[in-house]
Amino acid sequence: MLQVGSENSRPIYLHYEDLGKGKPVILLHGWPLNHQSWELQVPELVARGHRVITYCRRGFGQSSKPSTGYDYDTLAEDLHKLITHLDLREVTLVGFSMGTGEVARYLSTYGDERISRAVFISGILPALLKDDDNPEGIDGKIFDEMIREIKQDRFAFMQKFFNDFYGHGLINISEVSNAVKDFSWSVACQASPIATVNCVESWYEDFRNDISKIKVPCLVIHGSGDKITPLKNTGLRLKQMLPRCRYVELEGAPHGLIVSHAQEVNARLVDFLRPEALRHEESALIPH
């Protein structure tokens, strides 16, 4: 446990796990899950010689569940405190879904002195909320309805949500077993009700300015069948804003592709983490 703050008389702790040896990789989970969502990535990365750190975002899993701090500035600060507490260097940040915002905000705020690479999987970038300045975003009424349903019956909402989370494109086909969806539901139910709602509101954040400050080699992975953060609103736009990124589009893959398409995702991660791959990516960032 790492204390990252306090609320009234009680400390706010982050629960984290630190496994393996080698160059550090930090995996940032999506909403409304916790560090357990990386179950299919951690053993593979450790076996490949990486030190793998996972943690529960505040409000989720075994971390403290305060009433505040679910904005991206605070969440990035929590990540920064973990990195400095462990004195990590040459870190690869891997964000999934909501976690991609923390990666972008961290790099924008704290720079890349300790960071060597960044990975964005099923991301929410560059800006989800549709408005006059962001016509390619998603109608805010969708988020408003999500919040209304969560407040009314959080557990029923999560059952429906994970059908889409693991659902295949426009066809109502599940990419995972019912047992996986049941487990994801049980994990989501552990989250703080306040955190569950407030994190949805945090998705209104515009990360375009953050993205413009990212200079490290990047990998973007997105599924063409993503129902939660549709490819045209997110992954394809991020690819355009990071023209030198390594871009991987998995045909038909749903939002929860770190489970449904774990083998493909792991292979891409392992390849991107190779030292020789980093040298190649860095050379591509140097103007010729």
Q: Does 282 have pLDDT greater than 60?
A: no
Please identify every residue annotated as catalytic.
97, 226, 255
Q: Above 80 in pLDDT, residue 131? A: yes
Per-residue pLDDT reduced to its tens digit, 202-259: 999 999 999 999 999 999 999 999 999 999 999 999 999 998 999 999 998 999 999 9
Report whether pLDDT(286) > 60: no
pLDDT level of residue 175 (50, 70, 90 thresholds): confident
- Find where tokens 């059952």 sit: 159
Tell me the mean pLDDT in the region 22-32. 97
Following DSSP, what letter does each residue of 126-149 receive, concatenated?
SB-B-BTTBTTSB-HHHHHHHHHH
Q: Mean pLDDT throughout 83-105?
A: 97
Structurally, how many domains does the chain consist of? 1
pLDDT band at 262 (very low <50, low <70, confident <90, very high): very high
- pTM for this model (two decimals): 0.93
C-alpha distances (whole Å) from 208 to each of 21, 238, 282 are 34, 9, 22
**Tokens describing residue 4:** 């990252």
Quote the strand ranges of the chain, DSSP E.
Answer: 2-7, 10-14, 16-19, 24-28, 51-55, 91-96, 115-121, 218-223, 246-250
CA 53 to chain centre: 14
- Model confidence at 279, pLDDT cuts 50, 70, 90, reads low
Mean residue pLDDT of the chain comes to 92
pLDDT interval class at 196 (50, 70, 90): very high
Element (H, E) at 161: helix 140-165
Q: Which domain holds residue 21?
A: 2-285
pLDDT of residue 288: 40
Assess contact for 207 and 99: CB atoms under 8 A. no
Which residues 6+ apart lie within 8 Å of 198 measured at CB?
59, 70
Question: What's the CATH code of the domain at 7?
Answer: 3.40.50.1820
Segment 176-205 shows an average pLDDT of 95
- Sheet of strand 246-250: strand arrangement: 16-19, 51-55, 24-28, 91-96, 115-121, 218-223, 246-250
140-165 vs 193-202: helix crossing angle, rounded to 10:
120
Separation of alpha carbons 268 and 196, rounded Å: 30
